[in-house]
Amino acid sequence: MANLAILGGTRVVPENQPLYVRPWPPRDEATAEKLKELYMSGQWSFNSPMEQEFENEFAKYHGTKYAIFMANGTTTLECSLAALGVGPGDEVIVPALTWMATALSAFYVGANPVIVDIDPKTLCMDPAAMEAAITPRTKAIIPVHVYGSTADLEKILAIADKHGIPVVEDCAHMQGGFWNGRGVGSWGKVGSFSFQQSKTMASGEGGICITSDPELAEKIYLLKHIGYSRGVKQGQARHAPEGLICHNYRATAFQALILLEQLKGLHDLIETYGKHARLLTDLTKDIPGLRIQEPGRLANPQGYYSFHFIFDGEQYNGIDVKTINAACTAEGLGIPNGTHGPVYKHPLFNLKPGQFRFGTGNNCPVCEKIFPRTLGISHQVLTDENTMIKLAEILHKVTSNLDELRQYQASQNK
Ligand SMILES: *Cc1c(COP(=O)(O)O)cnc(C)c1O
């Protein structure tokens, strides 16, 4: 008789007692009532009071003077680069492990992304690889605070400052995260966040730039509002600065309201995620060959979009992480592989060599080696203590039955 549920053994989590995973996106009646009021008010867009309130609160939380709310977390990156004057002939350094938007934003402004490798422990951009990629053409650097870690802002900013290159933090995964006492996104020239449906704060779509530089704040605002300055009525429009080609990247007050409500609970939510991430780390630390993505060195609290396991001990040689996920799913809770991967290998990434380049060599070996060994749970799974305890039990069981895992995998490959 097999032990693993995937081979007919008894499940860790009985089928009729599913583990708690927070329903996502979060919804509540009080917010629905407020949305109705906002709808009836007719103040839906164009720098409405609700958008301004959300911008002010989000900036305050993360420690900047200004915030510019817009359509999504891709336009925020594009506008950040455009406001910094990045354009054709320039290069922008981005890490290999990220969503495509980070790299494509450089291309949208006519520049070329330069993709550099990641740190094997935090999975964020490796500062040394970043420094090695700098050339006279480098006009911006975009570190990404990925999954459940924070890029080493201290090291990255020291190198960037030495070379006089501005940093744009991609905080799409990191709402509410702090580094060395101040919010992420407040350390670079601009911080960019996404509120797409899956993110830690979610309004279907949405994004925000934060900065304390008044000139950048103004430019980013012009860029997203087709050239109107903040507070300018339609009839009083003036030309945007020479060369600043603006867009309509506005979001609506409805999204701002949903996010403002979520922001009120953000601190407690991040604390809960952190507590459960530490518990899960502790409960799985004696599993041989398994390690956890390390939180940022000076991150406190560390924000979480997801929590990642890395199965790169030799015990797992020949065992696909998909097999591990299938076995965990059969026990009662799946741990899917992330969607990001090495950005240049994503099926939708279609820049050609010449349109982008690698920092050094012709790939990013650390990212290519580690990504296929990772599995992660999304933040919604981090909300419940019992779910952590059961997940650890599942992992202990699955990783102590590696022969059965191999047997199952072989049967699948026939
Ligand atoms: C989601 C995401 C973005 C882009 O956000 P959208 O709102 O989907 O455009 C940018 N960077 C990273 C790392 C992301 O995960």
**pLDDT less than 70: residues of the chain:** 339
Does the fold of domain 29-264 match that of domain 5-25+266-412?
A: no
Please state the atom number of ligand 1 nearest to the C-alpha of residue 305.
15
In sequence order, which residues have a C-beta less than 8 Å from that of residue 254 and are 6 or more positions away?
A: 35, 38, 39, 44, 203
Please state the atom number of ligand 1 nearest to the C-alpha of residue 144.
13
Ranges of each domain in the chain: 5-25+266-412, 29-264
Q: In 117-213, where do the E strands start and end? A: 138-141, 168-170, 178-179, 182-183, 190-194, 207-211
What is the per-residue pLDDT for 23? Answer: 95
Please state the atom number of ligand 1 nearest to the C-alpha of residue 75.
9
CATH placement of domain 5-25+266-412: 3.90.1150.10
Cα–Cα dist 147/123, whole Å: 9
What is the per-residue pLDDT for 1? Answer: 84
Convert the pLDDT of each residue in 368-396 to its tens digit: 999 999 999 999 999 999 999 999 999 99
Kind of pairing between the strands at 374-378 and 306-311: antiparallel
Query: Residues near ligand 1 with C-beta < 6 Å?
Result: 72-74, 98-99, 101-102, 144, 170, 172-173, 194, 196, 207
Closest C-alpha residue for ligand 1 atom 2: 172
Cα–Cα dist 378/276, whole Å: 12
pTM of the complete model beyond 0.95: yes
State in Å: Cα 170 to ligand 1 middle: 8
Convert the pLDDT of each residue in 117-133 to its tens digit: 999 999 999 999 999 99
Nearest CA to 301 among 386, 408, 177? 177
Cα–Cα dist 55/177, whole Å: 17
Closest C-alpha residue for ligand 1 atom 4: 73
Cα–Cα dist 113/334, whole Å: 34
What is the per-residue pLDDT for 124? Answer: 98
Residues with a known catalytic role: 199
What is the per-residue pLDDT for 243? Answer: 85
Nearest CA to 138 among 94, 106, 78, 91? 91
Pocket test for ligand 1, best of 76, 78, 79, 99 (most atoms within 8 A of CB): 99
State in Å: Cα 71 to ligand 1 middle: 11
State in Å: Cα 206 to ligand 1 middle: 10
Using alpha carbons only, give the angle 61, 64, 67 rounded to the nearest 5 degrees: 85
Helix (H) or strand (E) holding 272: helix 253-284
What is the per-residue pLDDT for 207? Answer: 98
State in Å: Cα 73 to ligand 1 middle: 5
| Topology (CATH level 3) of domain 29-264 | Aspartate Aminotransferase; domain 2 (3.40.640)
Helix (H) or strand (E) holding 50: helix 49-62
